[in-house]
Structure 1
Amino acid sequence: MDEQRKGQGQPAAQDAPLSYQQALERLVEAVQALSLARDVSAIGRIVAAAARELIGAQGATVVLREGSACYFLEASAMPADWSAKRFALDSCISGRVIEQRTACAIEDVQADPRIAAESDVCRSVKSLAMVPVRSAEPLGAMAAYWRTQHHITPPEMRLLQALADATAVAMENIRVYRSLEERVRARTAELEASNRRLQHEVAERQRAEAAVRKLALTDSQTGLANRRGFFHDARQKLELAERHGLDCALLFVDVDGLKAVNDTHGHQAGDKLVGAAASVLQQTFRQSDVVGRIGGDEFAVLVVEGCDASAACSRVQQAVRRFNRHSELGFTLSLSIGVVPYSAGDALDLETLLDQADARMYRHKHAKRAARQCAPLAPAPAPLVKHL
């Protein structure tokens, strides 16, 4: 066989009719090619080439059924505009072959009264062989044409019918293949939609869990970390500082006179005083520091990296003075502070540091009270800093 012809799916010039053995070999080739076809256009090209070679026809085509009409799938021997035409099954020879499920061989097309709707063919076709594509419930018909009058033999009709039967199997394979493709696409789309829904649900759940965690670790009044949140974040910072050899400082801060403000001005005013203290602390320290409200009027701050305990206290007191200069609360914000410096290797846990800073804070508070009693106009003493 001509390898180039087989590669292109086109027949070589037919110098002599194929022997029966050669025809069978060519039929096997066509059947193999049809088994790999994935669309009807490919089937049309394969069948047209194979039919022309198998029986020495000069043109071949497949006619497919479409409801009560039929149309030419591949019409190399037909007028150019026939590929778009539809013919009623009861008005053409193709329809008769399809409906009656019987083959026909017409050696003189011009003299045959059954050729009516295809009258244009008479100008270019002299002989015609046509077989149904599948005997039971035909899908269409297969036709081979000759431009010169040709004696159509029974072996030629058998070869054409064998090719038509293989074509029927190929078309059924395409139907199944397309059905499977559609099912795969539908299932893929369904899985993708389910995956999107699942991702959305996971994201929603993660957001909800994050919100719950935030509520569990956040003081609702000030927006700072609550006691649990402070311990959670501060422990992590201390562990990080220990690994990297960083110095830290823990500040214990108490709001002075909160009870007196509550008693004199009401709890709403007391809440404002607590909020003012939280705002001052939040604005004084960096985002890398941990600031939390650990009690009603008590705050804690863990300062990490480049920390100078005395400087940290000084910054807080300066921020308090700036606040009071511009405050419209009607009462003064005052904070008592105890500070404990911490160096990597001190091996003190957070609870111990907090207890020590708490004790320093109370000493600072008592020192301020004593200073007011002894010299009301004297400035408050500096916060106490314990150096370990």
Structure 2
Amino acid sequence: MASNAINRHEDLLLAIDALHACRTTDAIIETVRASARALAQADGIAIIRREDESVRYVAEDAVGPLWTGHAFPIETCISGLAILERKPIVIADVMLDPRVPHHLYRPTFVRSMAMFPFGIGAPVGAVGAYWTRTGATDAETLANLEMLSRTIGAMLYNLEDIHEARRQRAVLRSAWGAA
């Protein structure tokens, strides 16, 4: 048991290190897609972006297809609710929770889930972990997903700052050249 905890801690540190090396939003999404499933010991993982009043499933790694490429109204899905409420949502049995759009989950392998919003200030997306079994998710897994989502938010925030600094530098260079 202790070695499993150590391995999961190392997986989390590796994922965070990989995220720190990302220089684009797409790289962040791919890094999370490639690492989050093992980190959460999940049967599936999805990365979701907010798009105004909807959410779009942009990437996944799962034992069966989920919703990559599909968009849903923000108020009608768990990822959207996590984003709007600015807090994680953990569901031990998706078929017993009235917030879950059951018609979307019935054809999938998903029986339990955890959804973590990410972003500094207002969340701009969420990462979801899905399991084929019902039941509570262990505290270590939830803590790892929380740390991962916070790191994603920080990295996206930093990228935004970097892009803004580059835009300002280009404007200054342009103005300097015109003078």
TM-score tier after normalising by the smaller chain length: 0.7 to 0.9
Distance 1:187 1:73, change over 3 A: farther
Corresponding residue number in structure 2 for 1:34: 19
1:155 deviates by 1.6
Taking the TM superposition and a 5 Å limit, the aligned residue runs for 1:1-388 are 19-77=4-62, 79=65, 82-116=67-101, 119-124=103-108, 125-134=110-119, 136-149=121-134, 151-191=136-176, 193-194=177-178
Distance 1:175 1:18, change over 3 A: farther
Distance 1:175 1:55, change over 3 A: same
Distance 1:17 1:142, change over 3 A: farther
- The one-letter code of the counterpart of 1:52 is R
Q: Alpha carbon RMSD of aligned pairs, Å?
A: 2.6
CA distance in 1, matches of 2:40, 2:3: 8
CA distance in 2, matches of 1:130, 1:122: 18
Q: How high is the TM-score relative to the length of structure 1?
A: 0.41
- The one-letter code of the counterpart of 2:104 is D
CA distance in 1, matches of 2:157, 2:105: 30
CA distance in 2, matches of 1:167, 1:39: 12
- The one-letter code of the counterpart of 1:27 is L
Distance 1:189 1:122, change over 3 A: farther
Distance 1:69 1:51, change over 3 A: same
Check whether the contact 1:48–1:59 (CA below 8 A) recurs between aligned residues: no
CA distance in 2, matches of 1:139, 1:18: 35
**Secondary structure, aligned partner of 2:41:** coil
1:105 deviates by 1.6
State how many pairs are aligned.
177
CA distance in 1, matches of 2:172, 2:47: 34
Unaligned runs of 5+ in 2: none
CA distance in 1, matches of 2:134, 2:124: 28
CA distance in 1, matches of 2:85, 2:75: 11
Check whether the contact 2:49–2:125 (CA below 8 A) recurs between aligned residues: yes
Unaligned runs of 5+ in 1: 1-15, 198-388
Check whether the contact 1:17–1:55 (CA below 8 A) recurs between aligned residues: no
Distance 1:18 1:112, change over 3 A: farther
1:26 deviates by 1.5
1:89 deviates by 1.6
**Secondary structure, aligned partner of 2:155:** helix
Structure with higher strand content: 2
For residues 118-154 of structure 1, give each alpha carbon's deviation from its aligned partner in whole angstroms, at most 9, with x where no partner exists: 7333322222111221474222221111234454112
Check whether the contact 1:18–1:54 (CA below 8 A) recurs between aligned residues: no
CA distance in 1, matches of 2:99, 2:70: 19
CA distance in 1, matches of 2:157, 2:167: 15
Distance 1:114 1:43, change over 3 A: same
Check whether the contact 2:120–2:154 (CA below 8 A) recurs between aligned residues: no
1:41 deviates by 1.6
Distance 1:186 1:128, change over 3 A: same
